[in-house]
Structure 1
Amino acid sequence: MSQKILSSLFAQKSWANRELFDVLASMTSTDQAASLHTAIRTLNHIYVVDRIFRAHLAGEKHPYTATNTPETPALGELHIAVAETDLWFEDYASKITGQALAESLSFQFTDGDSGSMTREEMLFHVLTHGSYHRGNVGQILKGISVAPPRDLYTKFLHVHEPARREAE
Structure 2
Amino acid sequence: MHHTLQRLFHYKAWANAELLDRLAALGEDSPIVPLAIRALSHTYIVDRIFAAHLRRQPHAYDSANASEMPALAQLDADMRASDREYVDYVATLDRAQLEERIDFTFTDGKPGSMAREEMLMHVITHGVGHRGQVSAIMLFDSVPPAKDGFTTWLHEAEAPARRRAA
Residue of structure 2 aligned with 1:78, choices 72, 75, 89: 75
Q: Distance in 1 between matches of 2:116 and 2:27?
A: 40
Matching residue of 2:5: 6
Query: What's the counterpart of residue 106 of structure 1?
Result: 103
**What are the superposed Cα offsets for residues 133-158 of structure 1, whole Å, 9 maximum, x if unpaired?**
10000001111111111221111010
Counterpart in 1 of 2:54?
A: 57
Letter in 1 for 2:8: L
Distance in 2 separating the partners of 1:19 and 1:143? 19
Runs ≥4 residues deviating over 4 A = none
Q: Following the alignment from structure 1 to structure 2, what is the Cα–Cα distance between the partners of residues 166 and 86?
A: 28
Alignment of 1:89-100 (within 5 A): 89-100=86-97
Report the Cα offset of residue 165 of structure 1. 3.2
1:164 matched to 2:147: no
Q: Is the 8 A contact 2:27 2:33 kept in 1?
A: no
Superposition TM-score, scaled by structure 1 size = 0.94
How far off is 1:164 after superposition?
A: 3.1
- Match for residue 145 of structure 2 among 135, 144, 148: 148
Cross-structure match for 1:132: 129
Root-mean-square deviation (CA), in Å?
1.2
Q: Shift in Å at residue 58 of structure 1?
A: 1.1
Whole-angstrom distance in 1 between the partners of 2:134 and 2:124 = 16
Measure, in 2, the Cα distance between the counterparts of 1:132 and 1:55: 21
Distance 1:123 1:29, change over 3 A: closer
Question: Which structure 1 segments of 5+ residues have no match?
Answer: none
Residue 29 (structure 1) shift: 7.3
Question: More deviation in 6-15 or 144-153?
Answer: 144-153
SS at match of 2:146: coil
Task: For residues 30-65 of structure 1, give each alpha carbon's deviation from its aligned partner in whole angstroms, at most 9, with x where no partner exists.
Answer: 3x33x2111100000000000000000011111111
Equivalences, count? 164
The one-letter amino acid of 1:10's match is F
Inter-partner Cα distance in structure 1 for 2:9 and 2:39: 19
